[in-house]
Amino acid sequence: MTNGAPLRGSSRWCVGLALLVVVVVVVVAARPSGAGPPPGLPGPLASRLEPRPSPIVNGVLSWRDPAVGILGTGRGICSAVLVGCRTVLTAAHCVCPNLAAEACLDDPELTDPARFTLFFQHAGFFGVARVAVPPAFVFGEGHDVALLELDTPVTGIRPAGIGSLPGEGAGYDVSFVGFGESGATADDLGLKRVGAARTVACDSVPEATHICIEYAEPVGEPGEDSSTCYGDSGGPMFAGSRENPIAVGVASGLVEVACRPPQQAYFTELAADLAWISAAGGTDLGSGPCPGLLAAGGPATQILEGEGDLDLAHPEKDFTFEVPAGTQELRVAVNGELAKGNVDLYVRAGAPADPGAFDCAGERSTPFELCRVASPTPGTWHALVARRAGSLRFQVTTTLFGSESPPPPPPGAWLTSPELPGFRAKARITPPGGDPLFGGAVGDCVSESLCIEGALAGRPEALVRVIGPRPNGYLWVQISRFTPSEIELWIEQLASGELRYYRLPAAGRDEPGVSGHLDRGAFRP
């Protein structure tokens, strides 16, 4: 994503066709004949990148947006969005590289489900059982959508709703998510980014079937003034709140080949295809929860974010996190730059993980890995991301699925401070082997912070800040603590009534320090 980058192949018909040819030439030239597929996802995702999908330009990395995944087509990489527990929406040109349904539907190889693979940061890998493309699809003219039926249902993700903009296509604030590159020469396909922009009138594709955005100088803040690029094709355009996003389009193409300003990117408008989507998707479509687990991002789940760079000098990186009691399932996933190397993943409870000692391992020799642990032991866990080959940047997403709603706030007065305007909090501090204490507010505190006292009046045991808005569009909650005791915090945004619950487990006797917490998706401004 350019500044959340533009999708490649998102140009008007003639330019888009030329773009595909250019991409194929570049890929072939970069890989000697007979060298085999580039490093990538297993199965269909390990195939050569043809055509190459578009990434978000001038975007920011995302560990949220659980419904958005990366699609391997056997001929390239695209983005996609879950719209039912076993139904995925993407761009038709990701399925039909000949850019028209007429030729595509006559070629069984192109719609063969066996050549497709999906990966979601919060759920892992899925195969495809059925592929559907609208017979009216012509790239650059309209209906650039496709539905994929998964071979098994997804758990732990709430599907995105599908809808339309409330009026004409220009002047609406939208966001979009994809696994594409951050620029025409960035070569960082495989990282997940989110960007935002305002819709404009389309000047190169039919407005009745498309939604367009403009990427122009001067470029604004990352994540707020974005476009698409190679690999973002098929990724969703969202409207509405970040808590309840509605997919109104899928990334289709660019007017120019380069993922840089000036540039207009266009998305297929789903309003023009709602009838076909409804008929092809059937009763599985809908944004209701899928059975099996509570949805990632909900009040009873935690999403922990990590990232890093691996190379010969820095071949591994360790991540430590706390698993609370009552966790129903632990999922740790890695996604990294596809063309640059491979990684392995090792996860272990209570001690550092390595290739010889782990409770779960992901050793697919790709930059995409997953570990799932049912009913994990409460306490400290370690995740090791280890370089197998190459040098690459990666994201690691840890999702903790609870089995019930978080506890309600305890009785008593809320804590407030002029240093934390628009928010109030309650705190419960439980010393090891002791009784719970209800935290109080310390009057003389650090700037822009709420300090919370426990057993001793005036001595802060926790510090709370609300930071932002940050480039990803959220207000972040930062919690620092100065005690080994367990700390529970309830933080409420007064304007919206949104309530967040955080639990920092007691530090063990042998732990070298106490951990805090940073929630990068806590509240909308």
pLDDT surpasses 70 at 28: no
Rounded to whole angstroms, the Cα distance separating 260 from 227 reads 9
Q: What is the predicted pLDDT for the residue at 388? A: 96
Range of lowest pLDDT (4-8, 177-181, 376-380, 399-403): 4-8
Average pLDDT over the chain, rounded to an integer: 85
Q: Where do runs of H (alpha helix) occur along 178-310? A: 274-281
pLDDT tens per residue across span 42-89? 433 332 222 333 347 888 899 989 999 999 998 889 999 999 999 999
Side chain identity at residue 45, one-letter code:
L
Least confident of 37-41, 193-197, 443-447, 463-467: 37-41
Confidence category of residue 4, pLDDT binned at 50, 70, 90? very low
- Measured between alpha carbons, how far is 38 from 47 in angstroms, rounded to an integer? 7
Span 268-276, average pLDDT: 96
Residue 243 has pLDDT above 90, yes or no: no
- Does position 445 have pLDDT exceeding 90, yes or no? no
Q: What 8-state DSSP symbol labels residue 434?
A: S
Contacts of the segment 354-358: beta carbons below 8 A, 24+ positions apart: 354/384, 354/386, 355/386, 358/384
**Stretch 475-481: mean pLDDT:** 89
Q: Calculate mean pLDDT across residues 309-325.
A: 94
pLDDT tens for residues 325-347? 789 999 999 999 998 999 999 99
Query: Please, which pLDDT band fits residue 242 given cuts at 50, 70 and 90?
Result: low
Mean pLDDT on 117-127: 97
Grade residue 472 by pLDDT with cuts at 50, 70 and 90. Answer: low
Backbone angles phi, psi at 209, to 5 degrees: -125, 5
How many residues are given for the chain? 525
The confidence score (pLDDT) of residue 454 equals: 87
Q: Cα separation of 193 and 254, whole Å?
A: 18
Asked if residue 20 has pLDDT above 50, the reply is no
Q: Which two tokens stand for residue 359?
A: 């409770």
pLDDT tens digits for range 178-225: 999 988 777 899 999 999 999 999 999 999 999 999 998 888 888 888
Share of the chain above pLDDT 70, in %: 87
Q: Are 387 and 397 a contacting pair, CB within 8 Å?
A: no
Residue ranges of domains in the chain: 301-402, 423-523
Q: Check pLDDT > 60 for residue 25.
A: no
pLDDT tens track for 416-428? 999 999 999 999 9
- Local structure of 464: helix, strand or coil: strand
Q: Which fold has domain 301-402?
A: Jelly Rolls (2.60.120)
Residue 170 clears pLDDT 50, i.e. is over it: yes
At 404, the pLDDT band (50, 70, 90 cuts) reads: low
Whether 270 has a pLDDT exceeding 60, the answer reads: yes
Predicted TM-score (pTM) of the model is 0.72
